[in-house]
Amino acid sequence: MEAIRQWILTLGGTAAFTAAAQAISPEGSAKRGVRFACGLGIIAAMLSLGIDFDWDAYAMSLAAYRELGEQYSEEGENLAMENTRAYIETECEAYIASKGSELGVNITAEVTARWSDEGYWYPDSVLLSGTADASVRAALTETVETELGICEARQLWEEQNG
């Protein structure tokens, strides 16, 4: 802020002037008088910030920065939530693909996470793609339901030809 910059310059200039005045003043009562006057000058320079300072502009700036901080905080929270959701979906997809590999099939999964009433993300549904016989599908469906909590009704199979 320009007012603070100007105040610092005024304070520095006053300090330099008072130091010079004290250095050239003669010893004795004259030096004590100069020292007293210089002290008053420094005090006046220090208090001048309150006189010339635009307190309304300062309050408005603080309010604007507070609002900006709240906005960034909210954006950060939203980003963290989206990253958490994406992480859960990605990890569940990798888990399902690895379970498919263990069963001898190449399966890809698209998991969709949902926000719970308790305040966390959970895997809600999955789209499974790949070619698998009925027994492998049943085993994988059971694994997804017991290990990830995605009920059979929320598991959709998409047959891939190839």
Band of pLDDT at residue 42, cut at 50, 70 and 90: confident
pLDDT value of residue 26: 87
Per-residue pLDDT averaged across 62-91, rounded? Answer: 94
d(CA 13, CA 21) in angstroms, rounded, equals: 12
Instruction: Answer whether residue 162 shows pLDDT above 60.
Output: no
Q: Please state, rounded to an integer, the average pLDDT across all residues of the chain.
A: 89
Domain boundaries, the chain: 2-53, 84-159
d(CA 143, CA 114) in angstroms, rounded, equals: 20
The whole-model pTM stands at: 0.60
pLDDT value of residue 118: 94
Cα angle: 93, vertex 96, 98; to 5 degrees? 110
Instruction: Answer whether residue 96 shows pLDDT above 70.
Output: yes
CATH architecture, domain defined by 84-159: 2-Layer Sandwich (3.30)
